[in-house]
Amino acid sequence: MVSPSATDTARPIIFISSIDRLKSCPMAYRYDSSIVLLLIGFGWLMLASFIGVGMVIGLILGTPMPPWVRPAHVHAALVGGVLQMVLGGFLAMVSSTTTGRLSSHQTYPFTLLAMNGGTAAMLVGFWLRHSPTVGAAGLLVAGASLRVIQILWTRSKHVPSSKPGRLYYAVSFLALLGSLIGAEALLLSPAGDQWMYGNARLAHIHLGILGFALLTTMGALRGVLPQILQVPQAHSGFTSLVFIGMPVGVAGLIVGFLNSSVTIELAAGGLLFITTLLYALNQFQTWLASNHRHHAASDHVLIGTFFLVLTVILGLLVGINSLSTPPAMPFGTLHVVAYTHMAFIGFLMNTAMGFLAYQIPLLLSTFRLSSHKKRPSYQQRLTAIMDRWRAIQISSLNMGAMGLAVIAALTWNVPLRSVSIRVAMWISCGLLVLSILLFLIKLAMAWGERPEASASAS
């Protein structure tokens, strides 16, 4: 037997000591999958937003983009963006609630790769107009989503019971599963079966957007806003009414869509209007009771709540408008764009920005500092970065969203190629891009703000 040399025996020691130095290095941070999902999801949202701006410009200037761009835009926003941000947000909240700090640093790399690889493959499938590629990519995303939900469900067993409760989220997760099944049925439906295609499409869209994204976002914001403002809920008694009425209203709306019954749709929309109004009233009075109002996070969340109520009202008006044949008010492509983006930009984008403005300082301070005493000052510094240019960023985002409604309203009186519509288009798109760029700059600044720099500055 040959005895190991001194050099050979030293190698493991050198390797171990190198690892120890790496772990002790303040720059060697390790991050949980929650923050990765949040940031990658927001990246997909930004990509979808820039594509959407290009689509609006092309539509008005008479140079529309190829047909495949629209489904790519929608799925980049909803699958790559909203789905990942919702799941990442829940992972962050459940982990911090159960452990008091995100100490596990579990990244689940294969799940993240499947989620984002599947989303990218889906967009490629739309580009190539190859349904099998889209279907296979959808299955990959579905498997990754179910894996994250399984992790969430396991961790949530240790969370103290609170409203809206696990049953409410179970309904929303089942709606996501139904949306994924509807997507596969949509791809497998015979080309000539318009009834099957139409119903699968309606189920896929509305179960995903209303049943999953809307319900989970509202449920999460119910607890997030009091944390941002550092006050209890103003009317905790409203919670039961809201979180019973919302799933019932969403279910009724989907039933109405599937049965092509405007009457059922309007009845369900009325219930949604009452519940969202109660929800908005609760959020607004919670904000009034706080002394911590001047934050980008709470501003975004509250404005998003306003747009949620506005979207429900617009939905009711759209339903009433369709009762007459022909409709009392013409409803074309730009009107659909304006209506849907009141929800997408007004509610979902505001909510995403507000959630990140609150969670990124919290998560970065948790991951980067092991000392509980040092975290508050570092978190405050990061929060100050996210609050910079607050008025410009928030006003430009929401004025840009409202600008789309102005453009759609102008088409009732002037031609699409008119100067007034083009001016409104450039102003609206410019405001949206400005807000997005400002927020991305702040995210980069917060990410680059190191604890040691914060300590030396103080």
Total-model pTM: 0.84
Most confident of 18-32, 169-183, 241-255, 435-449: 435-449
Q: pLDDT band at 12, cuts 50/70/90?
A: very low
- Does 166 have pLDDT greater than 50? yes
Instruction: Kindly report the average pLDDT of the chain as a whole number.
Output: 81
pLDDT value, residue 130 = 87
What pLDDT is recorded for position 386? 93
Higher pLDDT, 430 or 203: 430
Distance CA(16)–CA(9), nearest Å, equals 12
Report the pLDDT averaged over residues 239-247. 83
pLDDT tens readout for residues 329-366: 777 777 888 888 888 899 989 999 999 999 899 888 88
Highest mean pLDDT among 6-15, 26-35, 74-83, 193-202: 74-83
pLDDT in tens, 265-307: 889 889 999 999 998 888 888 888 887 777 898 899 999 999 9
pLDDT score of 384:
93
Residue 413's pLDDT band (cuts 50, 70, 90): confident
Distance CA 205, CA 186 (A): 11
pLDDT on residue 195: 63
